[in-house]
């Protein structure tokens, strides 16, 4: 792949503290997106705030030190990262958990264990919304 076609691909930041989850999501998206990965909240905030900013963030909820809810809250509180759509990746399927994430500014939820087709479709929908 040449630099020009790579530059046209949207950038997705995948945030998860579990290496296997990072590998799985990265393998699903590697052909359609440029990927950045972070294994904790602080690293995610640093990457999201750097230019060029990601077009979409897939964010695990349950992480040590700083959970996904706090990361999302900080992203939405910062003018530089506020507009980046956040999709939560989580094993938590309770309505209250989903409502909390959406109230903090997330645009969607993907439940774990992830279904590859769901990940691909969700990412495509939210990237299309960004491009349009």
Question: What's the rounded mean pLDDT across residues 51-63?
Answer: 96
Copy the structure tokens of residue 13.
Answer: 């930041």
User: Does residue 3 register a pLDDT over 60?
Assistant: no
Instruction: Report the number of distinct structural domains present in the chain.
Output: 1
Contacts 24+ apart (CB under 8 A), 31-37: 32/120, 32/123, 32/124, 33/9, 33/123, 33/127, 34/6, 34/9, 34/10, 35/11, 36/11, 36/12, 37/13
pTM metric for this prediction: 0.93
Question: What's the rounded mean pLDDT across residues 109-124?
Answer: 95
- Looking at residue 1, its pLDDT comes to 46
Give the structural domain span for 16. Answer: 3-131
Under 8 Å CB-to-CB from 127, ≥6 apart: which residues?
Answer: 10, 12, 33, 55, 56
**CATH no. for residue 33?**
3.40.50.2300
User: Does residue 63 register a pLDDT over 70?
Assistant: yes
Place of tokens 């990265």: 26
């Amino acid at each position: 792949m040449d630099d020009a076609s790579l530059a046209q691909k949207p950038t997705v930041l995948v945030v998860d503290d579990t290496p296997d989850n990072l590998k799985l999501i990265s393998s699903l998206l590697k052909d359609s997106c440029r990927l950045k990965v972070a294994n904790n909240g602080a690293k995610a905030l640093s990457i999201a705030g750097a230019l060029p900013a990601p077009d979409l963030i897939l964010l695990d909820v349950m992480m040590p030190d700083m959970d996904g809810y706090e990361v999302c809250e900080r992203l939405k509180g910062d003018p530089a990262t506020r507009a980046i759509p956040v999709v939560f990746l989580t094993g938590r399927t309770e309505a209250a958990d989903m409502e909390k994430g959406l109230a903090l500014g997330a645009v969607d939820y993907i439940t774990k264990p992830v279904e590859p087709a769901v990940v691909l479709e969700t990412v495509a929908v939210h990237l299309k919304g960004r491009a349009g």
